[in-house]
Amino acid sequence: MQISGAQMVIEALIAEGVDTVFGYPGGAIMNIYDEIYKQDGFKHILTRHEQAAVHAAEGYAKVSGKVGVAMITSGPGFTNAVTGLADAYMDSIPLVVISGQVPMSLIGTDAFQEIDAVGISRSCTKHNYLVTDASELARILKEAFYIASSGRPGPVHIDIPKDVTAQIADFDYAKPIALETYKPTIKGNARQIKKAVDTIVKAKRPLFYLGGGIINSNASEEVRRFVSMTGIPAVETFMARGTLRYDDALLISMLGMHGSYAANMAMSETDLVIALGARFDDRVTGKLSEFAKNADIIHVDIDPASISKLVNAHYPIVGDVKGVVIAMMDAIADKVEPTRYEPWLETIANFEKLHPLSYLEEEGVIKPQWVIERIGELLGDKANISTDVGQHQMWTAQFYPFTRARQFISSGGLGTMGFGFPAAMGVKRADMDRVSINITGDGSILMNIQELMTAVENKLPVINVILNNQYLGMVRQWQTLFYDKRHSSTDLSAGQPNFTMLVESFGGVGYEVTTKAEFDAALKDAIEKNVVALINVSVARLENVMPMVPSGGSLFNMMLASKEK
Amino acid sequence: MADARRVISVIVINEASVLSRVTDLFSGRGYNIESLTVAPVPDSKYSRLTIVTSGSIRVSEQIVKQLHKLIPVLKVYEHADLVEKEMALVKFPANASLSDISALSAAYNGGIVNVGEETIIVMIADEPKRVSNFLNLIKRYHPKETVRSGSVALER
């Protein structure tokens, strides 16, 4: 088949089953947008900023498990998208991002809207391509989708010069991929698995350390079975929230900087860490030399580079978590003795009793944690929950009753403010039957506020719940705790928009909330009206996220909420 | 965590940008490359890079794994037992003692490779340490210019 490069892009996206592309046109990518106009195989959603296009594709990918696709033009279009690429790279989200580039003859001449896009994206993508001939496009597009979604997933960037999109060449998308240099290890080594299982049955105080890789691997069902059959307690990373149901008796809570006291103490006391798809991030481990000091470590991960990167693994197993967990269950089946962990579970229960995750209600003011619990009570499983970055994000991870994988969508590794709203649009697009909530702050929401237009125009009724404390709260918290209360550039009390007028100017609905009853009414109304909403909730200004492991401190040395006993 | 000298060979697909993928990985992590050589592997679509760097075992293990993760990388070896050679070219003023220089360079698997009106050029090829020794030794002949090729290595 002889078609143009631009047509090839369309054909490939349709062949890959893409139903949504988020993007923003511009000079260098006009040939592709011309073909988008002519086709009806997928819907193109015009965001109002390229960064939002990539975050929307991330949200879409995280909820659907499919590859997210974003399209942008050269130069500033591309540089705006870089934050999204970096975010997807840190959180292992499968994306294919296609950018236009100036024509080949102009590359390297400082042409209008020219930037060395592949040079920039190299360090924040799993792989990237500069397409120099349309005859390469079929192979490159096919490889891109395969690389993005296989192994440890990640974003792949394809930069296509304008003349290549006009060039006519042969297109055969059926040709199989031949990547001799890329063969991710999927199946775990059987001997290593057996050794690990032998260690598990001998351990007295084992602990599952569940990471986001479980969600990427679609292994939460298997992990739930594995946890319940062994009777071994589990902690989740931020990225793994929803792997176990919130009310699973064996789930302690999240661990790490803002993890629960019990989760962090369990990690400090365990004699065997069973890490599944987790990467020992610094926000999880605290001071490395004190992390799980008395434990052997089994580390299952699809990325060999994650194993023994920070914490030495005694039993490294490279492979896809799902397959490895199934193999482990087979090997352990007749050896499990859930009762043997009773003393260990009792110890953990005591930690939980000593310092449960909690907050103190105060008369006349809404506590931010209450809002999250309340959304959980009202919506629970019926909502997908996105967040921005900051205090509200940590409270969501701590207090929302997650019931399933892919329910929680947040920027973990990069910590990108402005992620939540566009991501929640992608989430809505991928899962129209559920309510898409973006829990955000008065700082974060303004970082991609222009997306109100996208959401209204495309009927993506995202409900943004702003926990408004008139501070850049997380930075303010650190300033309070570690900078002697010098609140440098974090007090937003003199810089508040009228959120209701703002959203209504875009055609959405705004709510000003100062009481619990108003919040209930606002949330119910927004759901009923099925509109793009900003619910501006005035919350206690100086609430801190607690407990907390100060940066670089040991997990067992937590700061606890001052008013807790 | 002693920083030891490491020699890493990387077999990559010979395509545009592959070298920057490899070097970005070092620079992005703040690792220094002491020397780097690249040339196509004969009769194949691959190239071979030989990289000399230094770092602790943990750092070099991480480098090897990260190199593996790059899509166009076929193989990565960190050499333990290897034959390692490096070439050097040195330019002397023509009035230097030809016989001394010739004899010296012969001891380092080399010789005079070019004689001009003003300068003579000597080539040697030896282990990197011996190349350094040679370059020290010939200082008294006032070399005008020196170039080292960087190491190439093969496992025994």
Say if CB A46 and CB A73 are below 8 A apart.
Answer: no
User: End of a domain among B80, B106, B133?
Assistant: B80
Same domain, A373 and A518: yes
Domain count, chain B: 2
d(C-alpha B101, C-alpha B110), whole Å? 10
Same domain, A312 and A200: yes
d(C-alpha A196, C-alpha A299), whole Å? 9
Residue A181 included in any domain: no
Q: Which of A122, A127, A181 sits opposite B74 (nearest CB)?
A: A181
- Closest-CA residue to A462 (of A518, A383, A516): A383
Provide the 8-state DSSP code for A444. Answer: G
Provide the shortest C-alpha distance from residue B38 to chain A (in Å).
18
pLDDT at residue A134 tops 50: yes
For residue B144, the domain's CATH number is 3.30.70.1150
Cβ of B71 and A181 within 8 Å? Answer: yes
Provide the shortest C-alpha distance from residue B86 to chain A (in Å).
29
Say if CB B72 and CB A181 are below 8 A apart.
Answer: yes
Say if CB A25 and CB A33 are below 8 A apart.
Answer: yes
**Tell me, what's the pLDDT at B59?**
85
Same domain, B73 and B101: no
Same domain, B15 and B52: yes
Which pLDDT band holds residue A394 (cuts at 50, 70, 90)? very high
**Tell me, what's the pLDDT at A151?**
97
**Tell me, what's the pLDDT at A565?**
37
- Closest-CA residue to A101 (of A136, A131, A65, A68): A131
Q: Which residues contact A2 (CB under 8 A, 6 or more apart)?
A: A168, A169, A170, A171
Same domain, A261 and A212: yes
Same domain, A498 and A403: yes
Same domain, B73 and B9: yes
Residue A554 included in any domain: no
Query: pLDDT tens for residues A36-82?
Result: 999 999 999 999 999 999 999 999 999 999 999 999 999 999 999 99
pLDDT at residue A399 tops 80: yes
SS3 content of chain A, % helix, strand, coil (to 5): 45, 20, 40
Same domain, A15 and A80: yes
Same domain, B94 and B130: yes
Cβ of B28 and A123 within 8 Å? Answer: yes
Say if CB A539 and CB A371 are below 8 A apart.
Answer: yes
Residue A319 included in any domain: yes
For residue A15, the domain's CATH number is 3.40.50.970
Q: Which of A122, A147, A180 sits opposite B74 (nearest CB)?
A: A180
pLDDT at residue A152 tops 60: yes
Residue A561 included in any domain: no
d(C-alpha A495, C-alpha A147), whole Å? 44
**Tell me, what's the pLDDT at A340?**
92
Residue bearing tokens 């810089």: A495
Give A-chain residues touching B1 at CB under 8 angstroms: none
pLDDT at residue A301 tops 60: yes
Residue A225 included in any domain: yes
**Tell me, what's the pLDDT at B1?**
47
B148: containing domain: 83-155
**Tell me, what's the pLDDT at A195?**
97
| 3-state SS record for A377-419 | HHHHHHEEEEECCCHHHHHHHHHCCCCCCCCEECCCCCCCCCC
Provide the shortest C-alpha distance from residue B27 to chain A (in Å).
10
**Tell me, what's the pLDDT at A563?**
54
> Chain B contact for A126, CB < 8 A?
yes
Same domain, B37 and B49: yes
**Tell me, what's the pLDDT at B133?**
97
For residue B50, the domain's CATH number is 3.30.70.260
Say if CB A470 and CB A493 are below 8 A apart.
Answer: yes
Q: Residues 72 to 101 of B: which have CB under 8 A from any A CB?
A: 72-74
- Closest-CA residue to A373 (of A492, A227, A537, A506): A537
| Three-state DSSP class for residue B145 | strand
**Tell me, what's the pLDDT at B2?**
65
A532: containing domain: 368-538
A274 membership: H or E segment, kind and range: strand A272-276
Same domain, B36 and B101: no
Closest-CA residue of B relative to A131 is B16
Mutation pick from A130, A181, A183 vs chain B, by most beta carbons of B within 10 Å, is A181
| Three-state DSSP class for residue B105 | helix
Enumerate the β-bridge partners of residue B120. B92, B115
Same domain, A215 and A92: no
Residue A185 included in any domain: no
Residue A533 included in any domain: yes
| Range of weakest confidence among A402-406, A515-519, B7-11, B80-84 | B80-84
**Tell me, what's the pLDDT at A564?**
46
Q: pTM of this prediction?
A: 0.96
Residue A361 included in any domain: no
Same domain, B46 and B101: no
Same domain, A205 and A343: yes
> Chain A contact for B17, CB < 8 A?
yes
Same domain, B92 and B127: yes
Query: pLDDT tens for residues A7-48?
Result: 999 999 999 999 999 999 999 999 999 999 999 999 999 999
Q: Which residues contact A87 (CB under 8 A, 6 or more apart)?
A: A54, A55, A58, A93, A411, A413, A414, A416, A419
**CB atoms inside a 10 Å sphere around CB A304:** 20
- Closest-CA residue to A526 (of A512, A538, A511, A536): A511
Domain count, chain A: 3
Query: pLDDT tens for residues A186-209?
Result: 999 999 999 999 999 999 999 999
For residue A547, whether the previous peptide bond is cis, meaning omega lies within 30 degrees of 0, is yes
Q: Return phi, psi of residue A498, to 5°.
A: -85, 100
Does residue A50 carry a catalytic annotation?
A: yes
What is the ipTM score, two decimals?
0.91
Catalytic residue among A39, A112, A175, A229: A112
User: End of a domain among B80, B113, B144?
Assistant: B80
Which pLDDT band holds residue B28 (cuts at 50, 70, 90)? confident
Same domain, A142 and A277: no
Same domain, A455 and A350: no
d(C-alpha A55, C-alpha A496), whole Å? 25
Mean model confidence pLDDT for chain A: 97
Cβ of A122 and B24 within 8 Å? Answer: yes
